[in-house]
Amino acid sequence: MNNIKKTTYSFQSESKQLLHLMIHSLYSNKDIFLRELISNASDAIEKLNFQSISHPNLYEKDAKTKIQISINEKEKTIIISDNGIGMTNQEVIDNLGTIAKSGTKLFLESIEKIEKNNNQFVGKFGVGFYSAFIVSKKVSVSTRYAGMPIDQSTLWESLGEGEFSVSTIKKETRGTEICLYLKPEEEEFLQIWKIKSIISKYTDHINVPIEIQTFDEKNKVYTWEQINKATAIWTINKSNINNQQYKDFYKQITNEENEPLIWSHNQVEGKLEYISLLYIPMKSTWDLWNKENKNGLKLYIKKIYIMDNAEQFLPNYLRFVKGIIDSNDLPLNISRETLQENKISQQLKKSLTKKILQTLTKLANEDNEKYKIFWKEFGLVFKEGPAEDHENKNIILNLLRFSAISTESQEQTLSLQNYIQNMLPEQEKIYYITSDSYNSAYTSPHLELFKKKKIDVLLLSDRIDEWMMNYITEFQGKKFQSVSTTDSSINKLTEDNNNAINKKEKETEILLFIEKIKSILGDQVKDVKLTYKLTNTPAIVVTDANAMTTQMAKLFLAAGQSVNPIKYIFEINPNHKFINKIMNIKNENEIKDWIFLLFEEALLAEKGTLENPNQFINLVNKLLLIQNN
């Protein structure tokens, strides 16, 4: 042993942090170490299978891949071994000593936010291997890369406290063997039944056989017993799989604690041959908005694992979907880059998109409560759909949900179908308003007419809404119309209001007043008009039908782009007391001040902000003083 060269390394600082966390915080569900180590072993076997396609000699006369677990009660150790791809000396140092993955770094950055004992996060971030230290006081890993000479194997050892050592050893068998020296308080894991029950919980659907060593009392020999089914669940006939198995598989591939909301399993034959098993989760994950996070589809080709995050198979607006796609048609040597151009993968993308939309439509029709959960978790992402996917626009429109005057709640539950059904006979269009928040939308003066006439208006206050509405023009022949933009259909709705006022007496007087406003505001406005759609509000600004809307301008500004200031149409409510009052003022300067006040108020209501708040405040104060004199 003396001639073995042993080198000691210090863990990279991020690894140290993670180890510390493993050892001290993440107690509540210790079992997961086994899940992590088995999943690594299974990954290693899948990598070997994949590389053997082009280099069959990597199998070294031993093509039967498996994972084996043995327990040594005397030594108080658990050994987990696989005959997968193994690691080279350098890979051991890199993979087990540093955290190379950006996901893990993000994890560490957000660590303060994560409650103690919440170990849902382990594994999702590729911190899997270190979970061995949850139960072990010492871990040793011996490994040989497939095809390498026996004497070029590596032993890695660590107590998990800042350092690890690496030495070159001899290892006959290909692959990796991990030995866990259990902490005294973790000896319950030496019981075979315990290990078996954990394995059946987490890893039944691992594609590789997992064997555990047991002692045969009768014949007094040790034997290997296979404890998982080792069949890829998606290849089993649908009628032979129960819900629990589907749920377990979901948890296994996602490392989620939650059950999936719904799934769709399709075994497709014909021109395109593939199997897909697609899940819609119950909860969104924090990384849904992380640009690097593509989606959770695993690609298999003829049952051989090819890659994770196969983003080419689903559009972006469905990136919350998890699951697997197993194609019979794609060539095994396909790469991430060539997938994009590949005809078959493009067809698969179309089919999978259809499948998901069908699944959602079915859910919306059959289980409203579950659909609400879906919408709450993923509605924001789904709203990218109309812009991204023209082909399926109609199906997507049917799946959108909104809050509206009629829903009396911020929760988005109204479908366009419902909206159409409740339209008034005289109503021509689907009306909506976009705003910064539900409250500012709901209280907007633009809605006064609609509330009075009991015409429903969609209240859109998510950031994406304004952008989405650019891609939605009509639904079932009905056009969409913003209520803050001038429009003849809205004017029509005001006709009875219009008649209600005593026209003759007032008309000339009010028209003169409008002309006066025009001359005072000059080119600050596009136009000044009368409106009959207001009840509580004296005046309002609206955008011209072809102009940029207020919300759109805000979006551009927030994105750092410059936009020309919007020129509004200033609309005056002739039935409002305030207007009458101003019309009766004699002093020209005073009238001017009142009109500016009116205009600024309307701008404030529309935009939520003013260009020059101080000027506005001074004006208000000045007019208040005049009042009191």
Interacting residues with ligand ADP (CB under 6 A): 36, 40-41, 43-44, 82, 84-87, 95-96, 126-129, 176
Q: Can you tell me the distance from the alpha carbon of 382 to that of 237, in angstroms, rounded to the nearest whole number?
A: 31
For ligand ADP, which is the closer residue by CB, 41 or 58?
41
Helix residue ranges, H only, 25-64:
32-52
Q: What is the DSSP string of 392-453?
A: THHHHHHH--BEETTTTSSS--B-HHHHHHT--TT--SEEEEE-SSHHHHHT-GGGHHHHHH
Element (H, E) at 218: none
Minimum CB distance to ligand ADP smaller for 126 or for 147 = 126
Query: Distance between CA 16 and CA 9 in Å, rounded?
Result: 12
Sheet holding 525-530, edge to edge: 525-530, 568-572, 539-542
128 binds Mg ion (CB under 5 A): yes
Rounded Cα distance between 321 and 316, Å, is 10
**Could you tell me the two tokens for 4?**
């073995």
Cross-strand partners of 141: 156, 178
Taking the complex as a whole, the smallest distance from the CB of residue 302 to ligand ADP amounts, in Å, to 23
**41: partner contacted, choices ligand ADP, Mg ion, none (Cβ within 5-8 A by kind):** ligand ADP
Q: Which residues, 215 to 244, sit near Mg ion by CB under 5 A? A: none
Give the binding-site size for Mg ion (rule: CB under 5 A): 2
Q: End-to-end CA distance of the chain: give it in Å, rounded.
A: 103
Choose the binding region for Mg ion from 52-60, 120-128, 364-372, 373-381 (rule: CB under 5 A). Answer: 120-128
Task: Give yes or no for residue 84 binding Mg ion (CB under 5 A).
Answer: no
Rounded to the nearest angstrom, the gap between the alpha carbon of residue 324 and the centroid of all alpha carbons in its chain is 18
Residue nearer to Mg ion on the CB measure, 307 or 604: 307
Torsion of CA 89, 93, 96, 100, to 10 degrees: -120
Query: Among residues 80 and 595, whose Cβ is nearest to Mg ion?
Result: 80
DSSP annotation of 485:
B
Question: What is the closest distance, in whole angstroms, from the C-beta atom of residue 456 to Mg ion in the complex?
Answer: 51
Partner in contact with 550, chosen from ligand ADP, Mg ion, none, beta carbon below 5 to 8 Å by kind: none
CB of 91 vs ligand ADP, minimal distance in Å: 6
User: What would the DSSP string read from start to end of 270-325?
Assistant: SSS-EEEEEEEESS--GGGG-TT---EEEEEETTEEEES--GGGS-GGGTT-EEEE
From residue 208, alpha-carbon distances to 40, 248, 250, 271 in Å are: 12, 16, 17, 30
Residue in the shown chain whose Cβ atom is closest to ligand ADP: 128
Q: Least separation, in Å, of the C-beta of 101 and ligand ADP?
A: 7
Q: By C-beta, is 111 or 512 nearer to ligand ADP?
A: 111
Rounded to the nearest whole angstrom, what is the least distance from the CB of residue 89 to ligand ADP in the complex? Answer: 13
Shortest separation between residue 129's beta carbon and Mg ion, angstroms: 6
Measured from the CB atom, is 33 or 431 closer to Mg ion?
33
Q: How far apart are CA 135 and CA 30, in angstroms?
A: 7
Between CA 129 and CA 43 the distance in angstroms is 12
CB of residue 98 to Mg ion, shortest distance in Å:
15
Specify the residue, 209 or 379, whose C-beta has the smaller distance to ligand ADP.
Answer: 209
CB nearer to ligand ADP: pick between 85 and 233? 85
Q: Which is nearer to Mg ion, 45 or 380 (CB)?
A: 45
**Residue number, 267 or 293, with CB nearest to ligand ADP:** 293
- Is 255 a binding residue for Mg ion by CB under 5 A? The answer is no
Selected binder of Mg ion within 40, 42, 435, 573 (CB under 5 A)? 40
The two most distant CA atoms of the chain are separated, in Å, by 115
Considering CB distances under 5 to 8 angstroms, the limit depending on partner class, which of Mg ion, ligand ADP, none binds residue 520?
none
Minimum distance between the CB of residue 85 and ligand ADP, rounded to whole angstroms?
6
In angstroms, give the least distance from the CB of 600 to ligand ADP: 57
Q: CB 41 → ligand ADP: shortest distance, Å?
A: 4
**Residues in CB range of 344: below 8 A, 6 or more apart:** 272, 327, 329, 330
22 binds, among ligand ADP, Mg ion, none (CB under 5 to 8 A by kind): none
Q: Which residues bind Mg ion (CB under 5 A)?
A: 40, 128
